[in-house]
Amino acid sequence: MKFLFILAVGWIFFRLLRPWFFARDNHARASRPTQTSTAAGAEVHTVRCAYCGAFFSPDEGVDSGGRHFCSREHRDLEKAAGEHRSPC
């Protein structure tokens, strides 16, 4: 019974802290360009949004400070979030 309780508490902590751990990893690789193959075999260059992680064509997004965003709204939200973060 004690084992199940510890397992349940561990699972709850994992579920609560998982976004924080993966968010740190996403910022490190957010702007890394990728190559995607289409059905016709041609490769399409895509980038990842630094805010939401969505992949898109660079000509459809917004660049700011060497980072890629899928929209101006996400660029502005990331800039606003960056002003409120404490330096680590």
- Give CA separation, 17 vs 22, 23, 52, 72, 84, in Å: 9, 10, 18, 29, 20
Give me the pLDDT at residue 27, please: 54
Taking the model in full, what pTM does it have? 0.48
Q: In this structure, what token pair is assigned to residue 35? A: 């190559």
Domain ranges of the chain: 2-84
Give me the pLDDT at residue 80, please: 86
DSSP state of 60: G
What's the CA gap between 44 and 7, in Å, rounded? 44
Give me the pLDDT at residue 42, please: 66
Please choose, from the candidates 33, 68, 32, the residue with its C-alpha nearest in 3D space to the C-alpha of residue 51: 68
Mean pLDDT in runs of 10 for the chain (88 residues)? 89 78 56 58 81 88 88 89 59
What's the CA gap between 31 and 51, in Å, rounded? 10
